[in-house]
Amino acid sequence: MSTARHHSPLRLAALGAAGLLLAGCSGSTDPGSTSASSVAADEASARTVAAPQARLALTYDGGVLVLDADTLEVVGDHERDGFLRVNPAGDGRHALVTTEEGFQVLDAGVWTADGESWAGDSTLTDDVFEADTAGHVVVHGDRTVLFADGTGDITSFATDDLLTADGLPETQEWTSEAAHHGVAIEMEDGTLLSTLGDEEGRTGVRVLDADGTELARSEECPGVHGEGTVAGEVAVFGCEDGVLVYDGQFTKLPAPDAYGRTGNVFTTEDSPVALGDYNSDPDAEGYELTAFTLTDTSTDRYQVVQLPDGVAYTFRDLARGPQDEAVVLGTDGGVHLFDEDSGELLASYPVVDAWEGPAEWQDPHPAIKVHDGIAYVTDPARDAVHALDLATGEVLATGQLDVTPNEIAVVAG
């Protein structure tokens, strides 16, 4: 069953000329956090800029850094205890930091509205979408969906309401049949795709309408994990024996191996092809993988592509390029681009030193995110982050840090 919860959103008028006076950019006496509803930027803390200014959010042991995506200079440092994860909220301004309390709102201090863009101070706000064991964040269409693994509760909100709400925006809630490490996607027609599972394991996906009534389900996806939506609003979920596709009905595409796990899926709005990681050895130790999958949902073609000899990657090391390429950050230190249709290797660019997979998945190790043709690569061994032009292979900038970077997200501006 789904329910709506109201937080009295305050619609801010005239983001254009009044943009310099809007929320999200003033400092606080507490460097760690402040309330989003009390953060009203003045003219000194936000400036108009010629184009959207992307920023990076980087977690480290003890907080979150905010970097200018062009210069890679640190423009904000927000202390926060505990293991932190970070995901873009989807509105071009905010990120969601996963903490013990839930999903905490980070204002990156950049935004675009009505054709104008602004840049100012970043703020780790006091606004938190409370969740028991906060897990996946999924942005699709104009909705952002949060999953609480400890309860199976699902929270959805209109993505752009974060730009205008006084505090947290109005949300819609769904309840899973049982608590599990899950994920959900809200489609443009208001239906919700959410995983099935319990403390014993995960089995598949079900479809709910806006009122929480079940419309369909498939339990042909053991160990379901990872999700994405490709062109035509077709959803793809990773399974331990292939992938599960939903385009109004479920289709299972089996792996060529008896055990062929895809646990993370990377998609774009323009391509029917989903990129996934791949593991064919259930007894493998560590987190290094040597193959990936390409699923063409327009033809139901599912292929496994092997990396060059001696090259591996982890779940943090896949992305999509500006031409929908499959992008892999390898343990050889290179960024490798593959054609999404044939799986052919197109280019390889050296970026960092060779590295090994982590002992534990939470440990810092190189990660990659791509935005506007630029690959942002973390370099924990050197406490750095690099910006790589995927068209030329040129390293455009390197940011030296005073901390060891872990997870990374891009806030588009």
For residues 34-46, average pLDDT: 44
pLDDT > 80? residue 2? no
Rounded to whole angstroms, the Cα distance separating 318 from 313 reads 8
Q: What is the pLDDT of residue 9?
A: 29
pLDDT > 80? residue 36? no
Q: How confident is the model at residue 16 (pLDDT cuts 50, 70, 90)?
A: very low
Q: What is the pLDDT of residue 33?
A: 43
Q: Which of 368, 365, 330 has its CA nearest to residue 349?
A: 330
For residues 338-358, average pLDDT: 98
Looking at every residue in the chain, the average pLDDT score rounds to: 90
Under 8 Å between Cβ of 37 and 28: no
For residues 3-11, average pLDDT: 33
pLDDT > 60? residue 4? no
Residue pLDDT, tens place only, 271-312:
999 999 999 999 999 999 999 999 999 999 999 999 999 999
Q: Which of 59, 93, 54 has its CA nearest to residue 71?
A: 54
Q: Phi/psi at 374 (nearest 5 deg)?
A: -110, 130
Q: What is the pLDDT of residue 46?
A: 84
Q: What is the pLDDT of residue 81?
A: 95
Rounded to whole angstroms, the Cα distance separating 204 from 135 reads 17
Under 8 Å between Cβ of 96 and 7: no
Q: What is the pLDDT of residue 18?
A: 29
- Highest average pLDDT, of 37-41, 112-116, 317-321, comes from 317-321
Q: What is the pLDDT of residue 78?
A: 98
pLDDT > 70? residue 170? yes
Rounded to whole angstroms, the Cα distance separating 138 from 147 reads 9
Rounded to whole angstroms, the Cα distance separating 246 from 300 reads 11
pLDDT > 60? residue 114? yes
Q: How confident is the model at residue 338 (pLDDT cuts 50, 70, 90)?
A: very high
pTM: 0.90
Q: What is the pLDDT of residue 154?
A: 98
For the chain, what percent of residues have pLDDT higher than 90? 88
Rounded to whole angstroms, the Cα distance separating 365 from 358 reads 6
Q: Whose structure tokens read 């199976």?
A: 152
pLDDT > 70? residue 231? yes
Q: How confident is the model at residue 3 (pLDDT cuts 50, 70, 90)?
A: very low
pLDDT > 60? residue 324? yes
Under 8 Å between Cβ of 68 and 399: no
For residues 398-405, average pLDDT: 98
